Amino acid sequence: MAKMRVYELAREIGMESKELLTKIRQIGLEVKSHSSMLSEEEVAIVRQKLAGASEESAVGQSRPKVIRRRARPQEPPAEEKPEKPVEEARVVEGPPKVEPKPRLKLKIIRRPKKKEREEAPPEKAVARAPEGPPSEAPTPKAPEEAKKIEETKAEEPKPTKPEPTKPRVVDMTEHREYARVVKRAEPQAKVVKKAPAPPPKGPRPAAPVAKAAPQPAPVEEKGKKKSKRTVEGLELGAPRKKTKKRAARPKSEVSELKEGLELLELERELEKAPLEEVASEGMPSEVTEHPEAPKEKGKKGKTKEAKEPKEAPAPPKVVKKKIKIYESIQVGELAKQMGVKAPELIRKLMELGVMATVNQSIDYETAALVASEFGHEVERAGIQEEDLLRYEPPKPEELKPRPPVVTVMGHVDHGKTSLLDAIRKTDVVAREAGGITQHIGAYFVKLEDGREIVFIDTPGHEAFTTMRARGAQVTDIVILVVAADDGVMDQTREAIDHARAAGVPVVVAINKIDKPEANPERVKSQLAELGLVPEEWGGETLYAEVSAKKRIGIRDLLELVLLQAEVMELKAAPDRPARGRIIESRLDRGRGPVATVIIQEGTLRVGDPFVSGYHYGRVRAMFDDRGKKLKEAGPAYPVEVLGFSGVPQAGDDFIVVESEKVAKEVAEYRERKLREAEVARAGKVSLEKLFERLKESEIKELKVILKADVQGSLEALSEALRKLSTDEVRVNIIRSGIGAISESDIMLASASDAVVIGFNVRPTPKAKELANQEKIDVRFYDVIYNVVDDVKKAMVGLLEPTYEERVIGVAEVRATFKVPKVGVVAGCYVREGRLERGAKVRLLRDNVVVYTGKIASLRRFKEDVKEVAAGYECGVGLENFNDIKVGDLIEAFELVEIKPEL
């Protein structure tokens, strides 16, 4: 045994240096301080003295904490003490005494190893068994001393670390599990740390924990899961005396939880502490349960923590949807799409200066503006159609020659129909088929050599202009028919203009050359003047002289048409989905909507889905102009198509699409677009419109409901009344009809402040009653002149009257008098006209108006008079005016209403 300093020995035996110092002094050894060196003998003496009281307690010294815990609450009956320490001493002492607890041995062996691995200060091991041979270490100590020593050790936990043994059986499985639990418990350890470490009263702080722990669990049995809660339990449930230590401990212990071994020791301590210590303190049973509380709380808390991030509602994400708007949108619809209330939207619109009701439509720009106020984006719809009907022009290699499409135009009776008939008769197919044809608005002609020409046989002018009005250009060539005997007429010129505007070449057919009075040369010169210079005259226009009636020159005409077509190099791509134009359409009673389509590109097949204007469908069947059923039709061919959802209009497009669904979508989109555009036109609200309305409101309007016996009278009356409208007053006939004046007429009049005029008609008894009730002005006439006269008067009544000032008299002020309680009274002489009491007057001084008001009093010889004529004197008092001076003129006047005139 070597020399030791007091504090070293104190550390070794687990006492406070100060305490040991006292003991040493009591023994009679001289030591100055805790750092004084003790000789080997002195150390031995001290050890002996300290351990002398009890051999068992000296053995138990190696497990001071355990001894402390078990001994303290039981307030040692001396005979009990040896039992447990003995058991533990066996463990410490090693193999000879471990038979009863073999597993315990295993554990004990392992633990120090682990600790050594983790903390591994050899000094600590030395501290645990400082003197090497085990026989020296367990120096016998008095029980009191032993108790003190263990208490000291409790205060200085470090040296006790190497002594984590406990008579509890913990196998490795449990140990591993424990480590897992510790890990799981970590978050809660933090919670414990945060908790105020030294609770003012032992059990109290545990209460909230206990609250959260309704399920008490046997502490001993739940070793694995209770580590944290027992830490808390120790802290909270420890006896007051120990509170300080315990309170201080958890912090450090908790921080060391991860280190493993210390935790295990703690676990054991805590397992017992609540039970034993709490019992010794007489803690209420509910509080005794608290060690479980953290478990439950911890579990729940942890679960909560784990769940919370998942369950925490994400911040409300405002999904602002893009609003698609076509040409316009109804206010109500826009509000719905934005998810705002209509009044809110209307209010916002008003702020923007747009007055609109919920049913009115606003245009795209206004909608975009107001939507942006609500944070919405607006997108102009329509791209969809473009996408769905995306068109790629054919490549040159796809193109193949196609027949020309020809329209015949000309002045009335110049022989268009006759010419088309004559041409048709040249058709070999028609001839072979026996000439049975049907009118489908177009047909094609095949010549003997196989060349073909497609003719649009709808009245040329109409078809051509209708198509053009719809942006369709179907015709390649125009045949202009001019009667040789009649020459160029109005519609001839019009046709030329149309053809020229469309950039369509003209082939002239001078018709009726069979007629004796025919003069083709004159026609040529007339047309040359209009720019259609014949080739033979050096121009570019092809001329044919024909007789439709006699079928002369028809073939030459067709040759010229084909020549023209050749020059134009008309081509189309046949191998692609068909596109065309509607030439004619009708609703067939048996077959439903039927339309003639000129295919401009691609090949149309039965079953093809298509869209056409606002309609769509699938080709149910196809026929040519001879009624022959077709399975397919190529470019330039006119075919009659069945399978439309509705009747399309001439000039509408006809596009084969990938599916009927797409076709429907496009058709519906178009219809909606049309509807919106119509609504917008009718009720579009914009600033301009608003100003327009304001302006309109300045115009007076006489609303009239007109009922007459016959249509002729009604029309004559309507016309006469409308003519009465001026810039200031307008006659608005809100309803006109034949027959008796009905209740409905009266109701309308009542609702719109109108007058009812009955011409040779009377109201029904009920209408009469209603008119009386509603105080409606109903007038009856049998002479149109009287109606016009009265309406004129009524219109005059609507005009604001104008007033003209007229002077009625002038008086000269010759003297002034002050009259008490009255004021200044002027003594006047009426120079002209008269003065009237109460009349409006002006007071003029040097021709300047100094007062305008009324005559308050008019007297003559102290008597009130109504008026004083020229040449008489009188006393005049002016209303609220006393500054009258001699020489002033009093001018009396009146305002005369000037009747308005139309």
713 binds ligand GTP (CB under 6 A): no
Query: Which amino acid, one-letter code, is at 854?
Result: K
Distance CA 237, CA 874 (A): 120
415 binds ligand GTP (CB under 6 A): yes
Could you tell me where the beta strands, DSSP code E, fall in 517-608? 542-545, 571-572, 579-588, 592-601, 604-605
Question: Which span (334-342, 387-395, 415-423, 499-507) binds ligand GTP, by CB under 6 A?
Answer: 415-423
Q: Residue 491 to residues 409, 508, 525: CA-CA distances in angstroms?
A: 9, 14, 17
Distance CA 354, CA 736 (A): 34
Q: Is 648 annotated as a binding residue?
A: no
In the complex with ligand GTP, which residue's Cβ is closer, 416 or 618? 416
Distance CA 583, CA 656 (A): 16
Q: Where are the alpha helices (DSSP H) in 723-783?
A: 743-752, 765-774
DSSP label at 590? T
418 binds ligand GTP (CB under 6 A): yes
For ligand GTP, which residue of 512, 579, 670, 684 counts as binding (CB under 6 A)?
A: 512
Q: Is 412 annotated as a binding residue?
A: yes
417 binds ligand GTP (CB under 6 A): yes
Let me know: does 601 contact 579? Beta carbons within 8 Å.
Answer: yes
547 binds ligand GTP (CB under 6 A): yes
Question: Which span (184-192, 410-418, 766-774, 847-855) binds ligand GTP, by CB under 6 A?
Answer: 410-418
Q: Is 376 annotated as a binding residue?
A: no
- Applying the rule CB under 6 A, the residues between 659 and 678 that interact with ligand GTP are none
Q: Give the shortest CB-416-to-ligand GTP separation in angstroms.
A: 4
600 binds ligand GTP (CB under 6 A): no
441 binds ligand GTP (CB under 6 A): no
Let me know: does 581 contact 467? Beta carbons within 8 Å.
Answer: yes
Distance CA 372, CA 590 (A): 52
520 binds ligand GTP (CB under 6 A): no
199 binds ligand GTP (CB under 6 A): no
SS3 621: strand
514 binds ligand GTP (CB under 6 A): yes
Distance CA 269, CA 154 (A): 11
Q: Is 898 annotated as a binding residue?
A: no
555 binds ligand GTP (CB under 6 A): no
Question: Which span (43-51, 416-424, 468-476, 597-605) binds ligand GTP, by CB under 6 A?
Answer: 416-424
Q: Is 413 annotated as a binding residue?
A: yes
Q: Give the shortest CB-724-to-ligand GTP separation in angstroms.
A: 41
387 binds ligand GTP (CB under 6 A): no
User: Which residue of the chain is nearest ligand GTP when measured via CB?
Assistant: 415
Half-sphere exposure of 139 (CA within 13 A, CB side): 23
Q: Where are the alpha helices (DSSP H) in 352-481?
A: 364-373, 383-388, 416-424, 428-432, 460-469
- Applying the rule CB under 6 A, the residues between 756 and 775 that interact with ligand GTP are none
Q: Residue 488 to residues 417, 514, 517, 558, 897: CA-CA distances in angstroms?
A: 18, 18, 15, 22, 65
Nearest by Cα to 111 from 26, 42, 169, 50 = 169
Q: Give the shortest CB-587-to-ligand GTP separation in angstroms.
A: 25
Distance CA 167, CA 103 (A): 10
Q: Give the shortest CB-382-to-ligand GTP separation in angstroms.
A: 41
Angle at 226 between CA 224 and CA 227, to 5 degrees: 85
* 828: exposed, middle or buried (Cβ count in 10 Å: 0-12, 13-18, 19+): buried
Distance CA 879, CA 843 (A): 11
In the complex with ligand GTP, which residue's Cβ is closer, 174 or 514? 514
In the complex with ligand GTP, which residue's Cβ is closer, 36 or 491? 491
156-189 b/e (C-beta count within 10 Å ≥ 16 → b):
ebebbbbbbbbbbebeeebbeebbebbebbeebb
Q: Give the shortest CB-494-to-ligand GTP separation in angstroms.
A: 13
Q: Give the shortest CB-546-to-ligand GTP separation in angstroms.
A: 7
- Applying the rule CB under 6 A, the residues between 159 and 188 that interact with ligand GTP are none
For ligand GTP, which residue of 1, 412, 849, 902 counts as binding (CB under 6 A)?
A: 412
Question: Which span (61-69, 166-174, 414-422, 801-809) binds ligand GTP, by CB under 6 A?
Answer: 414-422
| Total residues interacting with ligand GTP, rule: CB under 6 A | 15
For ligand GTP, which residue of 71, 182, 542, 548 counts as binding (CB under 6 A)?
A: 548
Sign of CA dihedral 713, 715, 720, 721: positive
Question: Which span (135-143, 388-396, 507-515, 685-693) binds ligand GTP, by CB under 6 A?
Answer: 507-515
413 binds ligand GTP (CB under 6 A): yes
Q: Give the shortest CB-549-to-ligand GTP separation in angstroms.
A: 3
Q: Give the shortest CB-596-to-ligand GTP separation in angstroms.
A: 19
Name residues whose C-beta falls within 8 Å of residue 797's C-beta, 6 or more positions apart in sequence. Answer: none
Annotated binding-site positions: 410-417, 457-461, 511-514
Q: Which residues of the shown chain bind ligand GTP in the complex (CB under 6 A)?
A: 410, 412-418, 511-512, 514-515, 547-549
Annotated binding-site positions for GTP: 410-417, 457-461, 511-514
